[in-house]
């Protein structure tokens, strides 16, 4: 299959809504000279193409290969200018930036007092909305104007600006250190995953403590607190302290609910906080709090002022449906959860350019687990095959690992014995190539390796042996996550006791008195 050409301009045009395209035509056509401009002809060509094809573009009269690069750059810039003028894309940051630009123009024209008036208003707006980097930039321009002794301001003005600059700079440094630490911890997670033993735990703990700046929470603002909770949350995730994850994610989301306008201004951070909160509650198995948090998220997404931008809505879809499915896994209500499958598949199609392939594969895995819980094993196998047969994707090894294990178990349950021996060999080969296997995975390898040699009348006893070994690992701080990917214990108990998986899970979900 030929590789599809990628092009930034083409992707930008394809991302435009009908109203944005209409506005661009109005913007570009504001001067008669642009009506037949080559960049508008290029816009019309690219709008019609299904895939970017340079050869197809050059077939059109008037567009030459040597001028195509400059033409594309000019069109790209004009589209961005048009989008910047679109009311839908206006936000506080753009307003502050615009005011700063106006003040700079007035300063260069020698209208210093007018410039300072605009800067004062822009600074107040920046500080009110926690845009401290821009506030610092504004103060620096104020200092430039005042230092030239052309405004004859009051004598205390210099001291005021100096103190303001010092205080905001201090907060910006704190935010920068915390955001750097958060990003570094996330990088460690991508490279190495969760800690797997006491030695790794100590390394991460030392790394975190050495880089954590000393702060007093009562002396910092919204932005600095957000990064403080973010850094602590990532550290908690890395060491698999999911109760602490919950606590910091709750502080994170409460910070937004205490400052509701920040939800509108920073919807991505709000959604990520909610995602971590729900994920932590899923890990610790707290169904009541999980349900409450999910309902609160749903209510926020329904609010009229919640941003409707596509990148925000794609994340909202991803987190909303991922955790809707997780709730059914926790409750064992697989049949009820199957009602979301069509909506998930529709959403994947709607946001195909906004959701990365790895998250699509996670959705397929969740759908497969849903059908496995319903004992619809062939449907389970169908969705697992989408993951296992995807050779172009670099996804987390643990997702591939559990997809293969569940695929093997689903074939066993479906009675498709003619595939079993081949699957056992391929799954075993895949697992032994994995680095840093968890003990749960090692026990599964041993079991799978012997599965083809076990006589039917011995299988129940083998299930009991495996269950005993895995049960010992259920509460191990470094092993318990394995049971969240695949509830192997409930499956084993189902086979041992002759009861359905939903029945087993629902019984576990009932709080013990």
Residue 237, token pair as written in the block:
């995730």
pLDDT given for residue 177 in this prediction: 95
3-state secondary structure of 356: coil
Q: Which of 89, 106, 134 is the last residue of a domain?
A: 89
pLDDT given for residue 192 in this prediction: 80
Q: Do 85 and 17 belong to one domain?
A: yes
Higher pLDDT, 348 or 192: 348
pLDDT category at 1 given cuts 50, 70, 90 is very low
Q: Do 61 and 96 belong to one domain?
A: no
CA pair distance 345, 364, nearest whole angstrom: 9
User: Model-level pTM?
Assistant: 0.82
Residue 40, token pair as written in the block:
């508008």
Task: Give the model confidence (pLDDT) of 7-51 as tens digits.
Answer: 889 888 888 888 889 888 888 877 655 555 778 888 888 888 888
Terminal alpha carbon distance of the chain: 59
Which range is least confidently modeled, 94-103, 107-116, 198-207, 408-417?
408-417
Number of domains in the chain: 2
Q: Do 96 and 82 belong to one domain?
A: no
Burial 65-91 (b: 16+ CB within 10 A, else e): eeeeeebbeebeebbeebbeeeeeeee
> Does the pLDDT at position 468 exceed 50?
yes
Instruction: Write the CA distances from 241 to 16, 235, 238, 478, integer angstroms.
Output: 43, 9, 8, 10
Q: Do 77 and 96 belong to one domain?
A: no
Instruction: Write the CA distances from 395 to 248, 359, 388, 389, integer angstroms.
Output: 27, 9, 11, 12
Q: Which of 118, 153, 188 is the last residue of a domain?
A: 153
Residue 281, token pair as written in the block:
């509650």
pLDDT category at 445 given cuts 50, 70, 90 is confident
Q: How many other C-beta atoms are found inside a 10 Å radius of the C-beta of residue 412?
A: 19
Question: What value does the mean pLDDT take over residues 340-357?
Answer: 91
Residue 140 counted as domain residue: yes
Question: What value does the mean pLDDT take over residues 292-312?
Answer: 91
CB neighbour class for 498 (10 Å; exposed up to 12, middle 13-18, buried from 19): exposed
Q: What is the DSSP string of 400-452?
A: HHHHHHHHHHHHHHHT-HHHHHHHHHHHHHHHHH-SS--HHHHHHHHHHHHHT
Which range is least confidently modeled, 81-95, 258-272, 440-454?
440-454
Question: What value does the mean pLDDT take over residues 476-503?
Answer: 78
pLDDT given for residue 425 in this prediction: 79
Question: What value does the mean pLDDT take over residues 214-220?
Answer: 91
Helical H runs in 285-309?
287-301
pLDDT category at 346 given cuts 50, 70, 90 is very high
With vertex at residue 92, the alpha carbon angle to CA 87 and CA 97, rounded to the nearest 5 degrees, is 95
pLDDT category at 209 given cuts 50, 70, 90 is very high
pLDDT given for residue 174 in this prediction: 94
Residue 60 counted as domain residue: yes
| Sign of the CA dihedral with 446 first, then 451, 453, and 458 last | positive
- Mean pLDDT, all residues of the chain: 85
> Does the pLDDT at position 512 exceed 50?
no
Backbone angles phi, psi at 23, to 5 degrees: -65, -40
Residue 103's domain spans which residues? 92-153
pLDDT category at 179 given cuts 50, 70, 90 is very high
pLDDT category at 152 given cuts 50, 70, 90 is low
Q: Do 61 and 103 belong to one domain?
A: no
Which range is least confidently modeled, 27-36, 76-85, 461-470, 489-498?
27-36
pLDDT category at 213 given cuts 50, 70, 90 is very high
Residue 420 counted as domain residue: no
Q: Do 65 and 128 belong to one domain?
A: no
Residue 173 counted as domain residue: no
Question: What value does the mean pLDDT take over residues 52-62?
Answer: 80
Q: Do 106 and 75 belong to one domain?
A: no
Residue 25 counted as domain residue: yes
pLDDT category at 311 given cuts 50, 70, 90 is confident
| Residue tagged 């602490």 (tokens) | 244
Question: What value does the mean pLDDT take over residues 372-385?
Answer: 92
Q: Which of 116, 137, 153 is the last residue of a domain?
A: 153
Q: Do 30 and 71 belong to one domain?
A: yes
């Amino acid at each position: 299959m030929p590789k599809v050409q990628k092009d930034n301009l083409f992707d930008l045009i394809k991302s435009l809504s009908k109203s944005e395209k209409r506005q661009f035509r109005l913007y570009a056509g504001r001067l008669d000279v642009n009506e037949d401009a080559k960049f508008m002809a290029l816009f019309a060509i690219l709008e019609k193409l299904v895939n970017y094809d340079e050869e197809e573009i050059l077939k059109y009269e008037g567009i030459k290969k040597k001028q195509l690069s400059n033409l594309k750059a000019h069109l790209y810039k004009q589209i961005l200018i048009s989008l910047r003028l679109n009311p839908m894309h206006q936000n506080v940051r753009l307003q502050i930036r615009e005011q700063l630009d106006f003040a700079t123009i007035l300063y260069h024209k020698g209208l210093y007092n007018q410039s300072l008036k605009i800067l004062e208003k822009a600074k107040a707006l920046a500080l009110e909305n926690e845009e401290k980097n821009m506030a610092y930039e504004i103060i620096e321009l104020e200092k430039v104007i005042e230092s030239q002794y052309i405004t004859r301001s009051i004598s205390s003005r210099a001291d005021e600006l100096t103190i303001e600059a010092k205080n905001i700079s201090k907060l910006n440094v704190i935010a920068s250190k915390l955001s750097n630490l958060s990003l570094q911890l996330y990088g460690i997670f991508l490279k190495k995953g969760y800690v797997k033993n006491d030695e790794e735990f100590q390394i991460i703990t030392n790394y975190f403590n050495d880089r954590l700046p000393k702060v007093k929470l009562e002396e910092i603002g919204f932005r600095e607190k957000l990064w403080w909770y973010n850094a602590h949350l990532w550290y908690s995730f890395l060491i698999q302290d999911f109760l602490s994850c919950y606590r910091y994610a709750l502080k994170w989301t409460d910070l937004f609910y205490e400052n509701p306008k920040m939800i509108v201004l920073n919807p991505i951070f709000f959604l990520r906080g909610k995602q971590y909160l729900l994920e932590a509650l899923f890990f610790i198995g707290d169904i009541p709090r999980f349900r409450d948090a999910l309902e609160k998220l749903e209510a926020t997404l329904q609010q009229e002022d919640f941003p409707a931008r596509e990148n925000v809505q794609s994340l909202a879809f991803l987190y909303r449906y991922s955790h809707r499915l997780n709730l059914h896994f926790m409750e064992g209500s697989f049949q009820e959860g199957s009602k979301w499958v069509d909506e998930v598949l529709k959403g994947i199609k709607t946001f195909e350019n906004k959701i990365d392939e790895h998250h699509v594969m996670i959705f397929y895995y969740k759908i497969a687990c849903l059908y496995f819980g319903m004992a619809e094993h062939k449907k389970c196998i169908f969705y697992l095959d989408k993951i296992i047969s995807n050779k172009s994707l670099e996804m987390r090894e643990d997702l591939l690992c559990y997809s293969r294990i569940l695929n093997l178990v689903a074939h066993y349950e479906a009675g498709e014995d003619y595939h079993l021996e081949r699957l056992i060999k391929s799954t075993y080969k895949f697992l032994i190539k994995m680095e840093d296997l968890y003990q749960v995975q090692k026990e599964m390898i041993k079991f799978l390796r012997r599965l083809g040699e076990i006589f039917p009348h011995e299988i129940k006893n083998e299930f009991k042996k495996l269950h005993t070994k895995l049960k010992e690992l259920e509460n191990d701080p470094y092993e318990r996550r394995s049971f969240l990917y695949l509830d192997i214990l409930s499956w084993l108990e189902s086979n041992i006791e002759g009861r359905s998986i939903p029945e087993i899970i629902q019984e576990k979900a009932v709080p013990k008195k």
